[in-house]
Amino acid sequence: MLLIETLSPDKLGILAYTSSALLAFGAYLVYAAFSPSTKGSIRKLGGFPVLTAWSFFTKRYDFLWSNFAKSADPHFRFQVLQHQVVALRGEEARQVFFDTKSLDFTEGYKILMGASPSLDDIDVKTKFANEGVSFFNKQLAILFTNKRRLSDSKVGYSIHDWFLISLPLLFDDVNRRMVMWGKEGRMDPFKDIYDLVFQMTTRMASCDELSKDLDAISEIQKLYWMLEKSATPTALLLPWFPSRAKKNKEIATKELFMKLKGFVDMRREAKVPSSDAIDILIGQGQSTPEIVQFILSVVFAGVINTGINSCWALVFMSSHPEWKVKAKAEVDAMIEKHTNTTSGDPLHKRLSAVPVSVWEEEMPVMELIIRETLRLVMSTAALRRNILEDLTVSKGVIKPGDFVAYSVADAHRNPNIYRQPDEFDPDRFSPGREEDKKATFAFLGWGAGRHPCTGMKVAKLEIKLILAMMLAGYDFDIVDKAGKAPKEIPQPDRNDIHQVRPIFFLFRFSF
Ligand code: HEM
Ligand SMILES: *[C@@H]1O[C@H](CO)[C@@H](O)[C@H](O)[C@H]1NC(C)=O
C-alpha cells in the first residue's frame, strides 16, 4: 500500500482498452472546470496539466527530478487535474513533511496511489473509511498486546510481537515452497520469492486453514495482482471513467472480499479459538468486513515491499560476493549456536528452533544488508495531503487541500549524506561511518516522524528468514535470460520498482 510506485508498461497496456481521445477530452473538461490559480510563492510548472499528471503517474521519479533540476528552488507546484501537488526537497522540507500533523497520511495516498483495495469501493462499510491508517494501526496493536497472554501457554511456539507467528508453521510453509522449486535449477526471484512472501504474509495475517490451502492462496494472489495492475493512470485520474481497469478493480475487490469472508466465517463458527490473527480480531468483537480489510491491508502493505527488498538483497549479495560470504557465515554460526547440530533435522526445522530474539538482535550483518538494500531500493515518493491550514515550508506556502510529495531519493541518493550513493556498501551504516546520522531523517526505508512503519519488525523478520534459508540452504548466483553472468550490476528502475530486467538465480540445494 505504501510506497508502491508508479505504473509498469503492462499496466499501461490496459489503457489500450480505453479510447485515448475520449480520455483526453474528459480530462480536459475536468481541467477546464478547475483552472489553476496562483498560490503561495512556490514555482509553478507550466504545460498542459493532463500531460504533467500523466508523467507524474507513469515516470514519477524522472518527472520529479527533472523538474527539480530546472531550478535551485526546494519546491515546485503542479496540477493533477483538479488537484494541486507540491513537490519538496531538502532537509527542512523532509522534517516538515514527516513531522507535521496537518499533513495527512491516509488522504495523501488515497487519490494519488490507489492500488490497495478499499471495501468502501464495493459499498461495504468499515471503520477504515473514516479512520484510515489509524484504524489499521489499532488492529496491529491488538495483535501486539495479545502476545503475552499466549506466549506462556504454548510450548514450542515462538510468539512474535504483533502477529502470533509460530516459527515452525512459518518454516513449514517456506519449506513446502522450496520443495516445489526442486534441488537445483533456475528460479525467477521476482516470482518465486514473491510467492514465498505472499504465503508468509497470509500465514501471519489470517489463519491456519487459509495458509494451508495452496489453491485458495493462489486464487487470492491472482486477484491481488489484478488489483495491482488496475491502478492505471486512467483509473486514478478519472475515477468516474468506466475503464477496464476500474471494472477489474471492482471485480477483484468483491471476489477478495467473498473469499476472505469465507475464512472469517469459518473461524467464527469454530468451536475452539486459535491464536491466529483472525481469531484474535474476532475475540475483540471486530466485524467481518473490518477483519477482511485488515488482511487486505497487511497484504498490500507487506507483499510488495517485503518481496522487492528480499529479492534485491539477494541480488545485491550475489553481485557483491564478499557480503554473501559474510552473511552466510553469520547464518551458519547462528545455526551452529542455537540449534541441535547432531539432530539430523532438515534445514527448515533447524532454523525454526532459533528464538525470535536471536533473529532480531544477533544478526548484525543482515541488519546492515537489509538497511542498505532499503536505501537503494526505496527511492520513491511519499505522499501527504494538507488537511488543515496554510503551512510554510522553505518559504513556500502549502495550502489546505494541497497534496505534498517528497521523493525519498532526496535523502537516499544524496551524495552529501551518502558517499557514492549508488554503490551497495552496507558498511556505510557501521560505527565510525554512520552516514545515516549525518542529517535529519536521512534514512527513510521504514518511514520516519509521525508515520514510521508499523510492520517493520515483522517485515524484517520475514526478510531474514528468507535470506537465511537461501544462504544456508543453497548455492546461488545471478544470471541473465541467457543464463550468463550479467555484464553490469542490476539496479532497480527508479520509475517503477516493480519493473525488473530479467534476473534469475541458478541455484543448487547444498545444506
Ligand atoms: C520490507 C517491508 C516494508 C517496508 C520497506 C515498509 C516501509 C514503510 C515506509 C517507508 C512507511 C512510511 C511511508 C510514509 O511515510 O509515507 C511505512 C508505513 C507503514 N507500514 Fe510499512 N513497510 C514494510 C512492510 C510493512 C508490513 C508487513 C506492514 C503491516 C503488517 C506495514 C505496515 C505499515 C503501516 C500501517 C504504515 C503506516 C504507519 C502510520 O501511518 O502510522 N509495513 N512502511
Ligand atoms: C539432539 O538430537 C539428538 C538426535 O536426535 C538427540 O539425541 C539429542 O538429545 C538432541 N540434543 C538436544 C540438546 O536436544
pLDDT digits (tens, 9 = 90+) for 51-78: 787 888 888 999 999 999 999 999 999 9
- The arithmetic mean of pLDDT across residues 464-471, rounded, is 95
For the ranges 150-164, 259-273, 463-477, the lowest mean pLDDT is seen at: 150-164
Q: Whole-number mean pLDDT of the chain?
A: 84
As a 3-state breakdown, the chain gives helix, strand, coil percent values, each rounded to 5, of: 55, 10, 35
Q: What is the pLDDT of residues 302-316, one digit of tens each?
A: 888 999 999 999 999
| Spacing, Cα 509 to ligand 2 middle (Å) | 24
Whether domain 132-378+422-510 has CATH 1.10.630.10: the reply is yes
Identify the pLDDT of residue 146.
Answer: 60
Extended beta strands in 106-187, E state: 184-187
For residue 24, what pLDDT is reported?
45
- Residue 453 assigned ligand-binding role: yes
Pocket test for ligand 1, best of 107, 372, 453 (most atoms within 8 A of CB): 453
> Three-state SS for 88?
strand
More confident residue, 410 or 147: 410
Q: What is the pLDDT at residue 301?
A: 85
pLDDT confidence bin for 387, thresholds 50/70/90: very high
Domain ranges across the chain: 132-378+422-510
The grid cell for 26 is 474528459
Residue 260 has pLDDT above 70, yes or no: yes
CB 286 within 8 A of CB 136: no
Which has more confidence, 223 or 168? 223
* pLDDT, greater one: 115 or 485: 485
Q: Which residue's C-alpha comes closest to atom 24 of ligand 1? A: 302
Determine the residue type at 88. Answer: L
With b for 16 or more beta-carbon neighbours within 10 A and e for fewer, the 129-160 pattern comes to eeebbebbeebbebbbebeeeeeeeeeebbbb
Would the CB of 396 count as within 6 Å of ligand 1? no
Kindly report the protein residue whose alpha carbon is nearest to atom 5 of ligand 2. Answer: 343
> Does residue 202 line the site of ligand 1, with CB under 6 A?
no
Please name the residues in contact with 366: beta carbons below 8 A apart, sequence gap of 6 or more: 327, 330, 331, 464, 467, 468
Q: Give the distance from CA 149 to its chain's centroid.
A: 30
